[in-house]
């Protein structure tokens, strides 16, 4: 008993010590002069907006085109939702979730992905009573406490498409077609490849897993530390390990496609036939297994064409026929796909894809003097009411610096309102390219400007 008390005391002391250390670290950070972003988190600045607009607009338009309804899901869920769906032995659940116990003693996590939530929402809102398949689209932040590096963030954005309620191979093919269309439409058609595989159903995988264990066991010494652990818990993941030692063993390893049953094989052949009919190029990749446990049958990923070693996928998905049932719903076959926005934007930049800047101001409104400033503020409202895109810098007083800004913003026209114009009831209209200036009656400036902008 005394010994037990000693151990408990020691443990308590260790917890107190580690909490004190954390408190100290937080205090140190908070008392430092400048706050900084947490590791793996990112601010998205206005200069990035055109890329975000492009990705979100194209994805949202495809959702409309392919008849997916948008769903907005919370960022916080019960931890068990993810451990049961994604798998308690997966990297995501083992080491990457931001998890805490809330004030009601519920164990919650920031969502690392949305497919589990989609299945939860499908069951919770009785969507099986709707016409099937139910097709849902989402866009939002996900959280994974990965080691931060290029393209690997702790908060990143995904958009995704999920189709629940049909086992047809045509659904898998359409999802791949949708992904293919998205990358074509943003100008990355030649910069990506589609990798496809089938991992069969739970039954055919059980035998295959044993076969894999039999193959790798005598070579265990050659596997990396992670794969040594995977050998018993999740041998399939050895197939997509990026370590050279593990990769060198793959050529001789038993192939999944030789082990999947006739039904799964037939399903996969149909998916490929549809892709051929749609003339979508793909790479049959026997080592593609995906890192989340819920997949069955078809799996696919979109890779940058020059993906090497540990470089990362832009998007991924597949079929998850057992997930809804696993979470307590009726058996509901389903498939989906999601893509990482930051990784897509990185590739857009790398490939110098030109993006049309939207919402560029057409006019700059400059003012000199207090009276003119007050009048200009009123005029700004009128211009905005007429949907004329206006830039201004009322905080500046010098005309020179205002004109410099107008040049920088690349506007076609600048309106200049000074003391004299206020008294005369006029305004100057300057055409920026030629530098020609006209005096216009202030009352007539809006129709005059609209004419010049070709908006009569
Ligand atoms: P996933 O492959 O884990 O699949 O993630 C999809 C995409 O999210 C990745 O291809 C990548 O672009 C992006 N991503 C993942 N982790 C990070 C990170 N740490 N930093 C930046 N981007 C990242 C899923 O999440 C599944 N829910 C996909 C799915 C939908 N399967 C069926 N339906």
* Beta bridge partner(s), residue 17: none
Give nearest CA residue, ligand 1 atom 18.
152
Query: Which residues does 290 contact at the CB level (< 8 Å), separation at least 6?
Result: 199, 240, 299, 301, 316, 318
List C-alpha distances in Å: 255 to 162, 199, 200: 28, 10, 12
Ligand 1 neighbour 152 (Cβ under 6 A): yes
Residue 76 and residue 397: Cα distance in Å, rounded? 48
- Summarize the confidence of residues 341-359 as an average pLDDT: 91
Q: Is the CB of 313 under 6 A from ligand 1?
A: yes
Regarding the beta carbon of 179 and ligand 1, being less than 6 Å apart is answered: no
Q: Which residue stretches of 125-233 are H helix? A: 169-185, 202-216, 225-233
pLDDT digits (tens, 9 = 90+) for 425-444: 999 999 999 999 999 999 99
Ligand 1 contact via 137 beta carbon (within 6 Å): no
Neighbours of 168 (CB within 10 A): 16
Q: Indicate the pairing of strand 192-198 with strand 283-284.
A: parallel
Tell me: pLDDT of 5 over 60. Answer: no
**pLDDT given at position 9:** 52
Q: Are 364 and 430 in contact (CB under 8 A)?
A: no
Using pLDDT thresholds of 50, 70 and 90, give the confidence band for residue 234: confident
CA distances from 182 to 178, 190, 315, 349, 402 (A): 6, 12, 11, 17, 41
pLDDT confidence of residue 242 = 82
Strand pairing of 192-198 and 76-78? unpaired
283-328: pLDDT as tens digits: 999 999 998 999 999 999 999 998 654 558 999 999 999 999 999 9
Rounded CA-CA distance 177/279 in Å is 10
* Any ligand 1 atom below 6 A from CB of 87: no
Count how many residues are written for the chain. Answer: 456
């Amino acid at each position: 008993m005394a010994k037990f008390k000693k151990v408990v005391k020691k443990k308590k002391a260790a917890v107190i010590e580690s909490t004190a250390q954390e408190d100290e670290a937080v205090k140190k950070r908070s008392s430092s002069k400048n706050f900084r972003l947490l590791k793996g988190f990112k601010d998205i600045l206005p200069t990035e907006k055109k890329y975000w607009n492009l990705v979100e607009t194209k994805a949202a338009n495809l959702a409309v085109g392919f008849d997916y309804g948008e769903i907005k899901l919370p960022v916080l869920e019960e931890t068990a939702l993810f451990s049961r769906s994604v798998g308690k032995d997966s990297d995501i659940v083992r080491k990457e979730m931001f998890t805490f116990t809330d004030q009601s003693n519920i164990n919650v996590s920031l969502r690392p992905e949305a497919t589990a939530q989609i299945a939860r929402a499908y069951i919770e809102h009785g969507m099986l009573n709707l016409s099937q398949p139910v097709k849902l689209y989402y866009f939002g932040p996900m959280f994974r406490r990965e080691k931060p590096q290029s393209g690997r963030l702790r908060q990143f954005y995904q958009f995704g498409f999920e189709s629940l309620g049909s086992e047809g191979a045509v659904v898998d093919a359409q999802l791949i077609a949708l992904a293919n269309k998205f990358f074509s439409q943003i100008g990355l058609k030649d910069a990506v490849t589609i990798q496809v595989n089938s991992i069969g159903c739970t039954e055919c995988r059980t035998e295959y897993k044993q076969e894999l264990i039999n193959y790798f066991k005598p070579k265990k010494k050659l596997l990396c530390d992670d794969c040594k652990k995977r050998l018993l818990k999740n041998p399939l993941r050895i197939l997509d390990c990026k370590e050279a030692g593990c990769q060198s063993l793959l050529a001789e390893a038993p192939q999944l496609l030789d082990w999947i049953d006739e039904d799964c094989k037939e399903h996969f052949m149909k998916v490929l036939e549809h892709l051929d009919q749609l003339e979508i190029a793909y790479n049959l990749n026997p080592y593609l297994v995906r890192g989340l446990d819920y997949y069955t049958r078809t799996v696919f990923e979109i890779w940058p064409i020059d993906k090497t070693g540990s470089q990362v996928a832009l998007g991924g998905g597949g079929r998850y026929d057992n997930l809804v049932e696993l979470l307590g719903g009726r058996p509901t076959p389903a498939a989906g796909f999601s893509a990482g926005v930051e990784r897509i934007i990185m590739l857009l930049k790398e490939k110098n894809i030109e993006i049309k800047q939207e919402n560029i101001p057409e006019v700059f409104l400059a003012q000199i003097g207090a009276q003119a400033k007050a009048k200009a503020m009123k005029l700004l409202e009128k211009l905005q009411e007429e949907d004329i895109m206006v830039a201004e810098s009322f905080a500046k007083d010098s005309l020179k610096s205002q004109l410099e800004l107008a040049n920088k913003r690349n506007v076609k026209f600048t309106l200049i309102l000074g003391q004299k114009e206020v008294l005369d009831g006029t305004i100057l209209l300057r055409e920026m390219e030629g530098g020609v200036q006209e005096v216009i009656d202030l009352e007539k400036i809006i129709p005059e400007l609209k004419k010049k902008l070709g908006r009569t």
